[in-house]
Structure formats: structure tokens, C-alpha cells
Copies of this chain bind each other. A is one copy, B any other.
């Protein structure tokens, strides 16, 4: 171990609708209705440390890909955007299988709350697994961070959007009761499906039924060439 190594302590943990990797947006900002709540951990739960942050519409989260923490990194990975066939370097990607397991996402800042000794930040447009450890929060500074004209190789455009989602009669009924607790769930499902979360190596004509977990629910859907068809939204099977 090098003496240049150093230790990281999470400053908090984020609660998100995403209980498993499948279905998570491939970058932040894609699903605006994907809301997360960060609970700040001791000793970082000092409201002074957040003074002025409310003036920023967007913030950077630095986080740890915690499910990969004990797994080896690999020099080459297969990004889903390249059809799952072509290999590129791990540092040319934002793959989770990377040295140091650090990720970064820009998210919208909705709310900062103090509840007794706890501090909660509500953020939108997230792409993080539930209970991801947050290791830093920084303001987004457009004059430094925003480079609209940057060239971005294979990731120059957002994932292809299918902008139509239909819900079965069953799914519509289920939505009525679920919406009481999660008012934006229909919009969220639409946003997640529109980025086409199916595995990269699927067939074009693919009538398979996929299941994605969201909050405590299993969302089942099919792709039928013209739109995404949500079959059902049922209580999650215990995993």
C-alpha cells in the first residue's frame, strides 16, 4: 500500500427509488422525476456547512459505487451504448467497475431541511442506487463546468428516446393507489422506459417481458416497436 493512499468517510447516504441496477438512468438528468433524499451523517450534520447552497439550482454529488467496492477493476469494459460488443478503456467510460469506485453526478437541488438534528437534501434527476454513500457535495458552477461544445466520442447524444408509454388497464388501476404515496410514479416510469433500459444486446424485435424494481414495486413492461407497454406494477417479490 502506498503512503499516498487516504481514507474516505461518507458524509451521508441517499435514499432512491432504485433498489437494483437494472433500469437506473445511465446518466443523471435523464429522469427528472427520479427524486432522492440524502441524509447527512454525523459529524457533517451541521447546518452551517450548507449555508448558501440553496442559491444553487444544481449540485455535484461525489459518491461511492458501493456494490463494487470489493470487486476488481478491469482495464477494458463494454459500454451498453456501443451495443455491448465493443470494448473501451475504463477511464474512457463512467463504468462502475473502476479503480477507487468513485462516481460523480450533477443533480437538481430541490430542498434543504433541518429536522431536529438531522439534515436532509432532496435532489432530482438522480441515477443512484438506493443507499449509495455520498462522499462530497459541491455547487455546480456553469462558467467552469458547462462545456456544451465538448466532443464526446461515442456518448455525444443522450440515449435514444422512445417518447410514448402506454399502461395496461391493470397497471392503470394499480397506479391509482400507488400514486397516493408516489404522485409522480407514472411520469417516472415513463422517463425510465423512454431511455430504453433493456440490455444492449437485445433483439430489435423483442417481445420479452422485462421487470424493473422501483421503490417497493416490480414494474413489468414490454417493448412493442412503437411504444413501451406497462403490463403491471405489483408489490416487489422479496429478493
Q: Which A residues lie at the B interface, using CB under 8 A?
A: 1-2, 4-11, 27-30, 44, 46, 48-53, 55-58, 60, 62, 64, 66, 69, 75-76, 87-94, 98-102, 104, 106, 133, 135-158
Contact = CB atoms under 8 A, between A and B. Distances in A.
What's the number of copies of this chain in the assembled complex?
2
B152 A142 contact: yes
Contacts of A28: 144
B136 A140 contact: no
B92 A55 contact: yes
B104 A60 contact: yes
B7 A2 contact: no
B76 A48 contact: yes
A11 B91 CA distance: 11
B92 A58 contact: no
A124 to B, nearest CB: 12
Given A89-B49, A144-B106, A8 B6 contact: yes
A144 B9 contact: no
A106 B50 CA distance: 24
A80 to B, nearest CB: 14
